[in-house]
Amino acid sequence: MKITWLGHASFRMEVADAVLLIDPWLAANPSFPNDRRADALAGATHILLTHGHFDHASEVADIAQETGASVVGIPELCAAFESHGTVEFNKGGTVDLNGAKVSMVQATHSSSLGSAYAGTEAGYMIKGDGHTVYVSGDTDVMADMGWMAEFYQPDIGILCCGGHYTMGMEGAAFAAKKFFDFKMIIPCHYKTFPLLAQSAQPLVDALPDVNVLTPEVMDVVDI
């Protein structure tokens, strides 16, 4: 398994025989180096969307056209990308994406595609290569994390933690300690805009028994 942070809440994940682009937002992303676009998109098989906000889904049509990757997510959001090929499912469901088992789980946030209804926000549990990765999507701490942790038993967490629009560093640390037994955490949705937290050090400090990684954009975490 290889996980590459593309800045903000965007990731590239190579797992089983899939290359997943999670909420890919590149051209307008101030954290992403545009000269690395080809590297970020190479071999992409699926585009996994957590919700419809601009910093997650506004470039999906262009990226799907460029890569031929199928768009995966909740039906109301996928409907906007039908011409590119979609894999629609809903919370509680699991799909097999080239050997990666992806389950949609709850999040608490909001979702729209411009002014259009885009279904509801979601997170994902991604199982493959001997690991289960919890992708929180944009969310606050929620009690549902308790059963999700018990049922799916993720060992890696990709957690939003920038505050203002999502849970902050303290919230993410609380969730990790209260509900999960992560061996590794990769923070996201921070240091993109001035309103967001600019450093993940508070999360690192709050979780001394967890390997909290803070890779630079386009660094590959090989697990």
Q: Give per-residue pLDDT as tens, 50-104.
A: 999 999 999 999 999 999 999 999 999 999 999 999 999 999 999 999 999 999 9
List the CATH number of the domain containing 36. 3.60.15.10
Q: Residue holding tokens 């506004």?
A: 58
What local confidence, expressed as pLDDT, does residue 115 receive? 87
What local confidence, expressed as pLDDT, does residue 10 receive? 98
Q: Tokens at residue 116, please?
A: 């259009």
Considering the domain boundaries, does residue 222 fall inside one?
A: no
Considering the domain boundaries, does residue 219 fall inside one?
A: no
Structural domain span for residue 38: 2-214
The pTM assigned to this predicted structure is: 0.98
What does the alpha-carbon distance between residue 188 and residue 5 come to, in Å, rounded to a whole number? 8
Looking at the chain, list the stretches that DSSP marks H as alpha helix, in order from N- to C-terminal side: 37-41, 54-57, 60-67, 75-78, 144-152, 169-179, 201-206
Considering the domain boundaries, does residue 126 fall inside one?
A: yes
| Mean pLDDT to the nearest integer, 47-52 | 98
Considering the domain boundaries, does residue 221 fall inside one?
A: no
What does the alpha-carbon distance between residue 18 and residue 36 come to, in Å, rounded to a whole number? 20
pLDDT single digits (tens) 19-41? 999 999 999 999 999 999 999 99
Number of folded domains that form the chain: 1
Considering the domain boundaries, does residue 196 fall inside one?
A: yes
Q: Tokens at residue 204, please?
A: 């690192």
| Mean pLDDT to the nearest integer, 115-125 | 95
User: 27-31: long-range contacts (C-beta < 8 A, 24 or more apart)?
Assistant: 27/59, 27/62, 28/54, 28/58, 28/59, 29/55, 29/192, 30/192, 30/193, 31/7, 31/191, 31/192, 31/217
Considering the domain boundaries, does residue 175 fall inside one?
A: yes
What does the alpha-carbon distance between residue 12 and residue 219 come to, in Å, rounded to a whole number? 11
